[in-house]
Structure 1
Amino acid sequence: MNGCEFDGVYYKEGYGSIVGIDEVGRGCLFGDVVACAIVMPKESSILGVKDSKKLSEKRRETLYEEILKECKALGIGRVDAKVIDEINIKQASRLAMKRALENLRDQEGQVFKPDLALIDAENIDSDIEQKAIIHGDDLSYSISCASIVAKVYRDRLCIGWSKDYPGYGIEKHKGYATSLHRGAIKALGPSPMHRKTFLRKILSNEPH
């Protein structure tokens, strides 16, 4: 069963509109966790849509533009490093997803309320009916679209952040814990946008 067929099961059950929700940046040391909520037309079937982690950067960029042109509604949610440190990354990811759903707007900028939310392996605080789908970014077309949009959106933020905080290589590793990034943190110390709760082992020189 491909992603479109997976979502089609729910359409056959009578749901009129389905929103797919996914987040990106959960494992990063730096910057916001970003979530996307997206509603694609029932008949949508963009070739090549799958989990963003399985796509090249160039392919993601192309699909991102196609998805945004075709989607019925879109919402982005963000939670910054300070809040991540305060409430932990799991709760911050859920909050970003909730914000993305609350920010859902159609192409005319009007609030859009879907009938069903398909969420990648999470539950969020919402009165909209929802289903947590394990490996949803692989199984569901809507969630795959959300995965791609969230990834490209956050990667573009990283390009901007790298100019504000040069020397860490954010534009290259996008905030993940690469050896380049860990070395830069040890050399320069953490920036205001680093997640302090993620850096304890790095800054204490413990093995990780």
Structure 2
Amino acid sequence: MSRRTPPDSPFLFETIEGPDFSFELAGRRDGLWPVAGTDEAGRGPLAGPVVAAAVILDPDNIPEGLNDSKQLSIARREVLFEIILSSAIVSIASSAAGRIDGTDIRKASLDAMRRAVLGLSLRPALVLADGRDVPPGLACPGKAVVKGDARSFSIAAASIVAKVARDRMMTRADLVFPAYGFAVHAGYATKRHRNAIGSHGPCPLHRMSFRPLRQDGVETPEEELPA
């Protein structure tokens, strides 16, 4: 089972100015080095995988401008994606729609994060995971960091890698299933996407456990609509 930790300093969330390297340096002071950050992208869409990344940053070569991927423009994410891949140790893993439907989105997300961490070429001594859960099955200690992509450079880097990797996957998926517009909305429940499902029915990339695809009409707890 995943380990859930209580929020650390929740009263600070309204005053977060951006991520830094303090969580990583604290681990280093405790003798836990290297430190990896992990995050995922794509919990909310109706179609496509949930993608996770794990990143070990070089403390002497941290890319400038790291932040929660949602706070960055598409162009800036793309630039940082390439910089991170060239300057850090990176691993990417995903859970497809079938795995999501066979378990649930939370478990599928945590499993993708676990596999991303295990795929790193350098074994971390500590993993910082975005959210309230530490992925189960890690080979080292883990710490859950609420709003971690806005607080930790390593998690922010992982959020950027996961987001760009998933967006690229969905752009390629658009070539295979052009009727749905995946390159535009990345599988989220936009009006265009819902209309396409109504006209063409679901494709193999759709998450059949998500409303409105789920036959019993019950909304899954982790479902999210785009802002």
TM-score w.r.t. structure 1 length?
Answer: 0.90
Deviation at 1:6, TM superposition (A): 3.6
What's the C-alpha RMSD, in Å, of the aligned pairs? 2.1
Q: Which residue of 2 aligns with 1:101?
A: 117
Identity over aligned pairs, percent: 39
Instruction: Give yes or no for the alignment of 1:172 onto 2:184.
Output: yes
Contact 1:36 1:77 (8 Å CA) reproduced = yes
Q: Does the C-alpha gap of structure 1 residues 133 and 37 become closer, same or farther in structure 2, counting only changes over 3 Å?
A: same
Letter in 2 for 1:145: A
Quick one: which of 198, 204, 207 aligns to 1:195?
Answer: 207
Q: Which residue of 2 aligns with 1:109?
A: none
Contact 1:19 1:117 (8 Å CA) reproduced = yes
In the alignment of these two chains, the number of paired residues is 201
Q: Does the C-alpha gap of structure 1 residues 204 and 14 become closer, same or farther in structure 2, counting only changes over 3 Å?
A: closer
Contact 1:17 1:42 (8 Å CA) reproduced = no
Letter in 1 for 2:126: L
Deviation at 1:87, TM superposition (A): 0.1
Q: What are the within-5 Å matches in structure 2 for residues 1-208 of structure 1?
A: 2-71=19-88, 73-105=89-121, 112-121=122-131, 122-125=133-136, 126-200=138-212
Separation of aligned partners in 2, 1:6 and 1:56: 25
Separation of aligned partners in 2, 1:91 and 1:99: 12
TM-score w.r.t. structure 2 length?
Answer: 0.83
Separation of aligned partners in 2, 1:99 and 1:119: 13
- Structure 1: gaps of 5 or more residues: 106-111
- Structure 2: gaps of 5 or more residues: 1-16, 219-224
Separation of aligned partners in 2, 1:131 and 1:138: 15
Higher helix share: 1
Letter in 2 for 1:52: S
Deviation at 1:52, TM superposition (A): 0.3
